């Protein structure tokens, strides 16, 4: 009798063990993104695989903590973030639990979040301070202060107030984390997170230090975090001349006619697909956690995504007076208005102008080195995606100007607030201005740049005397008459 009971108990224990095992394996091996059928929703909220993956014991990739932690950080560290993530210029839509650019995916047993393309390539524009912001997909994230956001996430993740209990106290009654995830919370998830966060913070620390000028709103240093995150270079040993690289987010519409052109500000790559995969690394994917299918959906969409038309009145007579001046002075390098339809007019379109010729700020160029290119060729190894198109250049590339009205401020480092300012000689361009406000200046073509603060948002004061921020160079058109300059600006509204 006792023997039988023991046998039964033993069997029950074994069965339970097996079931728990299966449960753990299924939970840990599930890799399921939240999916969106409409492509615009996919672009805004879909996962490109930038959430941490690999295994729960040694997660790889990703820059953000798990969903339940991520959504709790603003209230845990509310002193650092009074208005939630929108403080950093994130765009939130009604009825969404995450801002645009943040995706959700179940991986390694957790509901994880990651960044996607939209975080840096979606912005807003308004006609007046009173009008509602219009969200434009594919335009530079003119409001986003990515650096401040990353620093907040790192700091708050390491804050003593972030504990498992603090998270559990903030979970909703319904629709909270799975039982498995709750179990992980009880068994050291937060401690593990702090270790991963410390590691990431230490790696990118020197590029984020106060000795390096801040990126500010609408800009990112593409390659310095990359040097440490992908290759574990000790950034404290990278010379200052290579450690400053903040530059504007580009627009990502109308990619098809760009294939084969020198992409990135310094023209270091001529493959759209490879450039996309490289940008995805910046969002937190790794060659093994990237979601190629989901990324391909975005790629196919931006391939033909049309640049948004200028929505305000255009003085057609003035514009058509500007057209021939533009043809004469600008078209050879920047193509003309027909580029939106794929017409590449101009021999130097998409080519690199040497730094000596163009004369713009050299820091972004010098942040990309031959040694770095050499290391990039080992990325996405043993796959059809392995990087092979990167090249060190010695200048900046001529980019086509489709949808240029939404791409202010101008020059690669965003050092000139409006198109009209760009047509002034460097010494007459604004020496300091504000970035991040989305109200449009229809006269000068660009965003309003003399407002320091509005709607609770504090904008970035951009000082052109700071290293990497110079507004020199690109003096084309600066000697024209005021009328001709106005005509060119008007013509550019039709791009």
Partner 1 sequence: MSRVGWILVVLVLLMGTVSLHGYYRLHRVAAVPQFESAEDHFLYASIGTEEERGVPYWIWLVLPRIFPEYLPTPGGYASIGIIARDGHEMPIGLSKVEIGVPRVGVNCALCHTATVRATPTDAPMVYPGASAHQTGAQEYVRFLVAAASDPRFSADTILNEIARNVKLSLPDQLLYRFVLIPDTRRALLRLGEKPTDAQQTAWGRGRADLVSQAKFTILRGPFDGTTGVADAMPLWHLKNREAQGYLWDRSNTSLREVVRASAVLEGASTRWMDIDTVMWDRTNPRQPSSLRRVMEYLNDLTPPKYPFAVDATLAAAGAATYAANCASCHDANSTRANAPIPLAETGTDRARLDAWFERSADAFNAFADGHDWKFSSFRKTSSGYAVPPLDGVWLNAPYLHNGSVPTLSDLLEPPANRPTRFWRGYDVYDQARVGFISDGPDARRLGTLLDVTQPGNGNGGHTYGTTLSANEKRALIEYLKTR
Smaller CB distance to partner 1: residue 34 or 60? 60
Do 213 and 467 contact (CB within 8 A), yes or no?
yes
- Give the per-residue contact string, 212-231, with partner 1 (x = CB under 8 A; - = no): ---------------x---x
Do 230 and 93 contact (CB within 8 A), yes or no?
no
Query: Of 93, 234, 293, 463, which lies in the binding site for partner 1, with binding defined by CB under 8 A?
Result: 234
What's the min distance (Å) between Cβ of 409 and partner 1? 24
Q: Are strands 395-397 and 352-354 parallel, antiparallel or unpaired?
A: antiparallel
Binding-site size for partner 1 (CB under 8 A) equals 42
Q: Of 364, 337, 338, whose CA–CA distance to 467 is shortest?
A: 364
What's the min distance (Å) between Cβ of 150 and partner 1? 20
Query: Of 239, 313, 384, 456, which lies in the binding site for partner 1, with binding defined by CB under 8 A?
Result: 239
Query: Could you tell me which stretch among 130-138, 302-310, 325-333, 365-373 binds partner 1 (CB under 8 A)?
Result: 365-373
Contact between 355 and partner 1 by CB under 8 A: the answer reads yes
Do 110 and 73 contact (CB within 8 A), yes or no?
no
How far is CA 329 from its chain centroid? 32
Do 240 and 271 contact (CB within 8 A), yes or no?
no
What's the min distance (Å) between Cβ of 32 and partner 1? 18
- Give the per-residue contact string, 55-74, with partner 1 (x = CB under 8 A; - = no): x--x-xx-------------
Q: What number of other Cβ atoms are within 10 A of residue 92's Cβ?
A: 14
> Which residues contact residue 397 at a Cβ distance below 8 angstroms, ignoring those fewer than 6 apart?
261, 262, 263, 264, 265, 266, 267, 350, 351, 352, 353
Contact between 3 and partner 1 by CB under 8 A: the answer reads no
- Coil, helix or strand at residue 410: strand
Q: Of 56, 52, 65, 76, whose CA–CA distance to 167 is shortest?
A: 76
What's the min distance (Å) between Cβ of 199 and partner 1? 12
Compute and round to an integer the Cα radius of gyration of the chain.
25
Contact between 394 and partner 1 by CB under 8 A: the answer reads yes
What's the min distance (Å) between Cβ of 253 and partner 1? 27
How many angstroms separate the CA atoms of 260 and 296, rounded?
A: 18
Q: What number of other Cβ atoms are within 10 A of residue 456's Cβ?
A: 9
> Which residues contact residue 38 at a Cβ distance below 8 angstroms, ignoring those fewer than 6 apart?
none
Query: Could you tell me which stretch among 153-161, 280-288, 290-298, 398-406 binds partner 1 (CB under 8 A)?
Result: 280-288
Do 334 and 401 contact (CB within 8 A), yes or no?
yes
Query: Of 386, 424, 442, 478, which lies in the binding site for partner 1, with binding defined by CB under 8 A?
Result: 386
Q: Which of residues 106-165 bind partner 1 (CB under 8 A)?
A: none
Query: Of 3, 79, 232, 427, which lies in the binding site for partner 1, with binding defined by CB under 8 A?
Result: 232
Query: Could you tell me which stretch among 51-59, 98-106, 176-184, 248-256 binds partner 1 (CB under 8 A)?
Result: 51-59
How many angstroms separate the CA atoms of 449 and 409, rounded?
A: 9
How many angstroms separate the CA atoms of 493 and 440, rounded?
A: 12
Query: Could you tell me which stretch among 115-123, 257-265, 327-335, 389-397 binds partner 1 (CB under 8 A)?
Result: 389-397
Contact between 365 and partner 1 by CB under 8 A: the answer reads yes
Contact between 260 and partner 1 by CB under 8 A: the answer reads no
The CB-based long-range contact list for 379-384 (8 Å cut-off, 24+ gap) reads: 379/230, 379/278, 379/281, 379/287, 380/277, 380/287, 381/287, 383/287
Smaller CB distance to partner 1: residue 10 or 205? 205
Query: Of 178, 389, 451, 478, which lies in the binding site for partner 1, with binding defined by CB under 8 A?
Result: 389
Q: Which of residues 366-385 bind partner 1 (CB under 8 A)?
A: 366, 369-375, 377-378, 381-383
What's the min distance (Å) between Cβ of 274 and partner 1? 9
- Please give, one letter per residue, the 3-state secondary structure of 205-272: HHHHCCCCCCCCCCEEECHHHHHHHHHCCCHHHCCHHHCCCEEECCCCCCCHHHCCCCECCCCCECCH
Contact between 445 and partner 1 by CB under 8 A: the answer reads no
Smaller CB distance to partner 1: residue 199 or 428? 199
Contact between 287 and partner 1 by CB under 8 A: the answer reads yes
Do 435 and 462 contact (CB within 8 A), yes or no?
yes
Smaller CB distance to partner 1: residue 33 or 362? 362
Contact between 54 and partner 1 by CB under 8 A: the answer reads yes
Contact between 176 and partner 1 by CB under 8 A: the answer reads no
What's the min distance (Å) between Cβ of 235 and partner 1? 7
* Dihedral-angle region of residue 335 (phi above 0 means left; psi in -120 to 50 means alpha; beta otherwise): left
Interface with partner 1 by CB under 8 A: which residues? 54-55, 58, 60-61, 227, 231-235, 237-239, 286-288, 355, 362, 365-366, 369-375, 377-378, 381-383, 386-394
């Amino acid at each position: 009798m006792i023997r039988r009971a023991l046998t039964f108990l033993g069997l029950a224990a074994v069965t339970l063990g097996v079931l728990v095992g299966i449960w753990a394996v299924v939970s840990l091996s599930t890799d399921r993104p939240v999916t969106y059928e409409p492509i615009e929703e996919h672009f805004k909220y879909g996962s490109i695989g930038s959430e941490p993956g690999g295994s729960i014991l040694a997660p790889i990739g990703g820059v953000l903590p798990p969903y339940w932690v991520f959504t709790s950080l603003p209230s845990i560290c509310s002193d650092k973030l009074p208005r939630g993530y929108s403080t950093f210029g994130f765009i939130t839509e009604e009825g969404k639990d995450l801002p645009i650019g943040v995706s959700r995916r179940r991986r390694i047993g957790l509901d994880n979040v990651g960044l996607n393309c939209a975080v840096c390539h979606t912005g807003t524009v308004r006609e007046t301070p009173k009008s509602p912001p219009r969200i434009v997909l594919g335009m530079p994230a003119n409001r986003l202060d990515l650096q401040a956001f990353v620093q907040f996430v790192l700091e708050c993740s390491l804050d003593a107030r972030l504990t498992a209990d603090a998270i559990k106290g903030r979970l909703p009654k319904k629709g909270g984390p799975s039982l498995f995830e709750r179990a992980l919370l009880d068994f050291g998830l937060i401690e593990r997170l702090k270790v991963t966060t410390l590691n990431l913070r230490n790696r990118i620390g020197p590029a984020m230090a106060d000795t390096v000028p801040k990126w500010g709103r609408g800009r990112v240093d593409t390659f310095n975090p990359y040097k440490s995150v992908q290759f574990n270079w000790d950034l404290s040993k990278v010379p200052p001349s290579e450690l400053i690289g903040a530059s504007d987010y580009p627009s990502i519409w109308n990619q098809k006619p760009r294939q084969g052109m020198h992409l990135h500000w310094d023209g270091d790559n001529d493959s759209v697909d490879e450039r996309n995969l490289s940008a995805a690394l910046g969002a937190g994917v790794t060659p093994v956690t990237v979601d190629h299918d989901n990324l391909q959906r975005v790629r196919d969409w931006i391939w033909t995504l049309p640049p948004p038309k200028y929505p305000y009145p255009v003085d057609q007579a003035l514009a058509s007076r500007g057209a021939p001046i533009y043809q004469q002075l600008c078209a050879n390098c920047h193509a003309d208005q027909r580029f939106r339809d794929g017409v590449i007019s101009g021999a130097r379109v998409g080519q690199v102008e040497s730094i000596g010729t163009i004369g713009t700020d050299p820091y972004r160029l010098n942040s990309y080195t031959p040694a770095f290119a050499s290391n990039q060729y080992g990325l996405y190894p043993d796959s059809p995606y392995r990087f092979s198109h990167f090249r060190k250049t010695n200048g900046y590339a001529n980019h086509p100007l489709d949808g240029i009205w939404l791409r202010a401020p101008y020059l690669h480092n965003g050092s000139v607030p409006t198109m009209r300012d760009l047509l002034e000689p460097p010494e007459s361009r604004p020496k300091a201005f504000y970035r991040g406000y989305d109200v449009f200046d229809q006269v000068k073509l660009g965003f309003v740049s003399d407002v320091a603060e509005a709607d609770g948002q504090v904008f970035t004061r951009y000082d052109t005397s700071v290293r990497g921020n110079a507004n020199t160079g690109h003096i084309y058109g600066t000697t024209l008459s005021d009328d001709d300059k106005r005509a060119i600006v008007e013509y550019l509204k039709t791009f």
